[in-house]
Amino acid sequence: MPNKVFWRASVALNVLAFTVTPAWSQAAPANGSAATAAEIVVTGSRLARQGFDTPTPIKVLSSELMEQRAATNVGDFLNEIPAFRPSTSNQTNTQSSGGAATQVYADLRALGNIRTLTLVDGQRFVPSATTGQVDLNLIPTILVDRIDVVTGGVSAVYGSDAISGVVNVIVNRKLQGIKGDFSTGLSTYGDN
């Protein structure tokens, strides 16, 4: 008999859970007529987070910081952060990085760039190596709005590609007009 009672209670809770309706707000019109209902839509990808109110620690790197550092590409900018190791340097073997020596990959915690997942706007980007890494040179720095870096506990969500963490490059999609970058230099030695 207790099994039947438990079964009926669980069926009742499941029915109740599937009949929940979305939240509606009441907006009072200015002319004093009856209130109309408006649906509230909350999407987590549109919220600007600072990294303090999330279940896993997120490092948010803004485009202003990238401009201050005068980074030529996203990879050079990330390599200045202590959590990252340069994928192509004198200390790393470019043969094991899965691509050409000119490609730059995100390598969190020096666990290998194969174990760092690189996303663009929360989506997987086209890999530039046979082992699935994303060349950060393919992402134009002028279009980057911010970079979110998650270094802990994300392999349960993203899979084995994210053992050391996830780098999510958020692209600014609200550009208006023309935006450009120009730099020049002159050698004091006259050697071009």
Range of the domain at 94: 48-171
Residue 178 lies in a domain: no
Where b means 16+ CB within 10 Å and e means fewer, 109-140 reads eeebbbbbbbbbeeeebeebbeeebbbbbebe
Specify whether the CB–CB gap between 95 and 113 falls below 8 A. no
Return the beta strands (E) in 105-184 as ranges: 116-120, 123-124, 144-150, 165-171
pLDDT at residue 55 in the model: 67
Separation between Cα atoms, residue 159 and residue 189, nearest integer Å: 52
Query: pLDDT band at residue 177, thresholds of 50, 70 and 90?
Result: confident
The answer on 121 and 97 residing in a single domain is: yes
- Is residue 7 pLDDT above 90, yes or no? no
The answer on 155 and 68 residing in a single domain is: yes
Residue 102 lies in a domain: yes
pTM here is 0.61
| Cα separation values, 109 from 86, 113, 151, Å | 10, 9, 8
The answer on 129 and 52 residing in a single domain is: yes
The answer on 86 and 137 residing in a single domain is: yes
Cα–Cα nearest to 103, from 145, 66, 132, 80: 132
Structural domains of the chain, count: 2
Residue 189 lies in a domain: no
Give the CB-side neighbour count of residue 179, counting CA atoms within 13 A.
Answer: 10
Residue 180 lies in a domain: no
Instruction: List, for residues 70-108, the tens digit of each pLDDT value.
Output: 888 888 888 888 888 886 654 555 444 455 667 888 888
Separation between Cα atoms, residue 37 and residue 26, nearest integer Å: 5
